[in-house]
Amino acid sequence: MSENNSLLSVRNLSVSFFAEEGVVRAAHKVSFSIKTSQTFGLVGESGCGKSSVALSIMRLIPANQGQIVGGEIAFDGQNLLELSEKQMRRIRGNKIAIVFQEPTASLNPVYTVGDQIAEAIMLHKNKDKTQAWKAAVEMLRKVGIKEPQQRISQYPHQMSGGMQQRAIIAIATSCEPALLIADEPTTALDMIVQTQILNLLDELQKQTGMSILLITHDLGIAAERADEVAVMYASRIVEKADPRLLFSKPLHPYTEGLLKALPRLGQSTKRLETIPGTVAEPMYLPSGCKFHPRCRTGCHDKHCQTFEPELKEVEPARWVACWHAPGYQ
Amino acid sequence: MIVPTLLGITVIVFAISRIAPGDPVSSHISSRGEFDVKKTIDVRKERLKLYGLDKPIHIQYVNWLWRVTRLDFGQSVKHNRPVIKLIADRLPITLTLNLIALVFIYAISLPTGVLAAVKHGRFFDRAISVFFLVLWSLPIMWVGQMLIGYFAGPAFKSWFPPAGISSIYADRLSFFQWLFDRLWHLALPVVCLTYTGFAYLSKQVRAEMLENLSMDYVRTARAKGLPESAVIFRHVFRNSLVPVITITASLFPAVFAGSVIVEKIFSIPGMGLLMFEAVANRDYNVVMALATIAGILNMIALLLADIAYALADPRVTFEGNT
Amino acid sequence: MGKQKEKKAIWGTTLGEFVQQQFVKRPINMVSLVCMALLALMAVIAPVLANNKPLMIRIEGKLHFPLFQNLSPADYCIFLAATVGFLLLLLIRRNHSNLEPSVRGAVLFRQLCLSCTIILIGSPLIFIFVPRRLEAADYKAMIAENKADYAVFAPIPYGYDRTDLMSRNLSPCRTHWLGTDDVGADVLCRLIHGSRTSLSVGLVAAGISTLIGIALGSIFGYFGGKVDFIGMRIVEMVMAIPTFFLIITFVAFFPRSLLSIIVIIGITTWTGTARLVRAEFLKLRKQDFIQAAVSLALPLRSTIFKHMLPNCIGPILVNAAFGFAGAIFAEAALSFLGFGVAPPTPSWGQMLSSGVTTTGRFLWWLTLFPGLAIFLTVMLCNLIGEGLRDAFDPRLKNAI
**CB atoms B279 and C251 under 8 Å:** yes
Question: Which of B2, B3, B138, B142 to mutate to test binding with chain C, by most C CBs within 10 Å of its CB?
Answer: B142
Residue C203's pLDDT is what? 93
Question: Which of C229, C245, C331 to mutate to test binding with chain B, by most B CBs within 10 Å of its CB?
Answer: C245
Average pLDDT, rounded, for chain A: 88
Residue C136's pLDDT is what? 64
Chains A and B touch (3+ CB pairs under 8 A): yes
**CB atoms B142 and C371 under 8 Å:** yes
Pick A110's closest partner by Cβ from B219, B221, B238: B238
Question: Which of C362, C368, C379 to mutate to test binding with chain B, by most B CBs within 10 Å of its CB?
Answer: C362
How do the domains of chain B map onto residue ranges?
A: 2-68, 89-312
- How far does the CA of residue B174 sit from the closest CA of chain C (Å)? 30
Rg over alpha carbons for chain B, rounded to the nearest Å, is: 25
Residue C134's pLDDT is what? 67
**CB atoms A108 and B239 under 8 Å:** yes
Question: Which of B118, B122, B220 to mutate to test binding with chain A, by most A CBs within 10 Å of its CB?
Answer: B220
Tell the CATH superfamily of the B89-312 domain: MetI-like (1.10.3720.10)
- Strand, coil or helix: C43: helix
Is this prediction's ipTM beyond 0.90? no
**A117-121, A196-200, B3-7, C262-266: which range is least confident on average?**
B3-7
Residue C184's pLDDT is what? 79
> Is pLDDT at C280 greater than 70 in this prediction?
yes
Check CB contact of A98 with chain B, cutoff 8 Å: yes
Instruction: Convert C9-47 to b/e letters by CB count within 10 Å (16 or more is b).
Output: eeeeeeeeeebeebbeebeebeebbebbeebbebbbbbb
The total of other beta-carbon atoms located within 10 Å of residue A14's CB is 18
The C-alpha atoms of residue C95 and residue C105 are separated, in whole angstroms, by: 10
DSSP letter for A271, please: S
> Is pLDDT at C240 greater than 50 in this prediction?
yes
Between C245 and B152, where is the model more confident?
C245
Chains A and C touch (3+ CB pairs under 8 A): no
Check CB contact of C326 with chain B, cutoff 8 Å: no
**CB atoms B279 and C329 under 8 Å:** no
Residues 6+ apart with CB under 8 A from A326: A251, A314
In chain A, which residues have their Cβ closer than 8 Å to the Cβ of B222? 60, 92
Pick B220's closest partner by Cβ from A91, A100, A155: A100
**CB atoms C337 and B260 under 8 Å:** yes
Instruction: Convert A235-267 to b/e letters by CB count within 10 Å (16 or more is b).
Output: bbbbbbbebeebbeebbbbbbbbbbeeeeeeee
Q: Determine contact, residues C191/C351, Cβ cutoff 8 Å.
A: yes
| Whole-number Cα distances in Å, C90 to C96, C100, C265 | 10, 17, 31
Check CB contact of B19 with chain C, cutoff 8 Å: yes
Check CB contact of B4 with chain C, cutoff 8 Å: yes
- How far does the CA of residue A120 sit from the closest CA of chain B (Å)? 6
Q: Which of C268, C240, C258 is nearest to C326 (CA)?
A: C268
Q: Determine contact, residues B155/B143, Cβ cutoff 8 Å.
A: no
> Is pLDDT at B124 greater than 90 in this prediction?
no
> Is pLDDT at A73 greater than 70 in this prediction?
yes
Between B90 and B121, where is the model more confident?
B90
Check CB contact of C260 with chain B, cutoff 8 Å: no
> Is pLDDT at A90 greater than 80 in this prediction?
yes
- How far does the CA of residue C118 sit from the closest CA of chain B (Å)? 33
Chains C and B touch (3+ CB pairs under 8 A): yes
In chain B, which residues have their Cβ closer than 8 Å to the Cβ of C233? 4-5, 8
Q: Which of B48, B66, B67 is nearest to B56 (CA)?
A: B48
Q: Per the confidence metrics, is the pTM higher than 0.80?
A: yes
For residues A256-281, give the mean pLDDT: 80
In chain B, which residues have their Cβ closer than 8 Å to the Cβ of A155? 314-315
Tell me: cis bond preceding A326? Omega within 30 of 0 counts.
no
| Whole-number Cα distances in Å, C61 to A214, C135, C140, C147, C154 | 100, 21, 18, 11, 21
For residues A268-294, give the mean pLDDT: 82
> Is pLDDT at B173 greater than 50 in this prediction?
yes
- Strand, coil or helix: A318: strand
- Strand, coil or helix: A10: strand
Residue B26's pLDDT is what? 59
Pick B220's closest partner by Cβ from A106, A124, A155: A106
How would you list the strands of the sheet with A318-320, edge to edge?
A96-99, A179-183, A211-216, A39-43, A228-233, A236-241, A318-320, A312-315
- How far does the CA of residue B40 sit from the closest CA of chain C (Å)? 23
3-state secondary structure A183-242: ECCCCCCCHHHHHHHHHHHHHHHHHHCCEEEEEECCHHHHHHHCCEEEEEECCEEEEEEC
Q: Which of A203-217, A288-302, B293-307 shows the highest mean pLDDT? A: A203-217
> Is pLDDT at B123 greater than 50 in this prediction?
yes
For residues C55-60, give the mean pLDDT: 74
Interface A-B: count of C-beta contacts within 8 A:
68
Check CB contact of A92 with chain B, cutoff 8 Å: yes
Residue in chain B lying closest to C385 (CA): B133
Residue C399's pLDDT is what? 37
> Is pLDDT at A103 greater than 80 in this prediction?
yes
For residues A56-74, give the mean pLDDT: 89
Kindly report each contact of residues B300-303 with a partner whose C-beta sits within 8 Å and lies 24 or more positions away, as own/partner. Answer: B301/B248, B301/B249, B301/B252, B301/B253, B302/B249, B302/B252, B302/C240, B303/B2
- Using one digit for the tens of pLDDT, what is the confidence trace for A235-254? 899 999 999 988 888 888 88
Residue C303's pLDDT is what? 75
The C-alpha atoms of residue B98 and residue C61 are separated, in whole angstroms, by: 68
Question: C12's torsion region: left (phi>0), alpha (psi -120 to 50) or beta?
Answer: left
- Antiparallel, parallel or unpaired: β A96-99 and A179-183: parallel
Pick A110's closest partner by Cβ from B216, B224, B239: B239
> Is pLDDT at A133 greater than 60 in this prediction?
yes
> Is pLDDT at C323 greater than 90 in this prediction?
yes
Between C289 and C317, where is the model more confident?
C317
**CB atoms C254 and B299 under 8 Å:** no
Q: Determine contact, residues A258/A51, Cβ cutoff 8 Å.
A: no
Q: Which of A225, A325, A240 is nearest to A32 (CA)?
A: A240
**A92-96, B138-142, C16-20, C193-197: which range is least confident on average?**
C16-20
In chain A, which residues have their Cβ closer than 8 Å to the Cβ of B221? 108, 119
- Strand, coil or helix: A25: strand
**CB atoms B216 and A92 under 8 Å:** no
The total of other beta-carbon atoms located within 10 Å of residue B43's CB is 16
In chain A, which residues have their Cβ closer than 8 Å to the Cβ of B217? 105-109
For residues C108-131, give the mean pLDDT: 85
pLDDT range class, residue B126, cuts 50, 70, 90: confident
> Is pLDDT at B196 greater than 90 in this prediction?
no
Question: Which of A51, A90, A102, A110 to mutate to test binding with chain B, by most B CBs within 10 Å of its CB?
Answer: A110
H-only helix segments in chain A: 50-58, 85-91, 103-106, 113-125, 129-142, 148-151, 161-173, 191-208, 219-225, 243-248, 253-261, 302-306
Residues 6+ apart with CB under 8 A from C76: C126, C130
For residues B27-33, give the mean pLDDT: 54
Check CB contact of A106 with chain B, cutoff 8 Å: yes
For residues A34-51, give the mean pLDDT: 88
**CB atoms C250 and B16 under 8 Å:** yes
Check CB contact of C386 with chain B, cutoff 8 Å: yes
Pick C379's closest partner by Cβ from B120, B134, B203: B134
Contacting subunits of C (3+ beta carbon pairs below 8 A): B
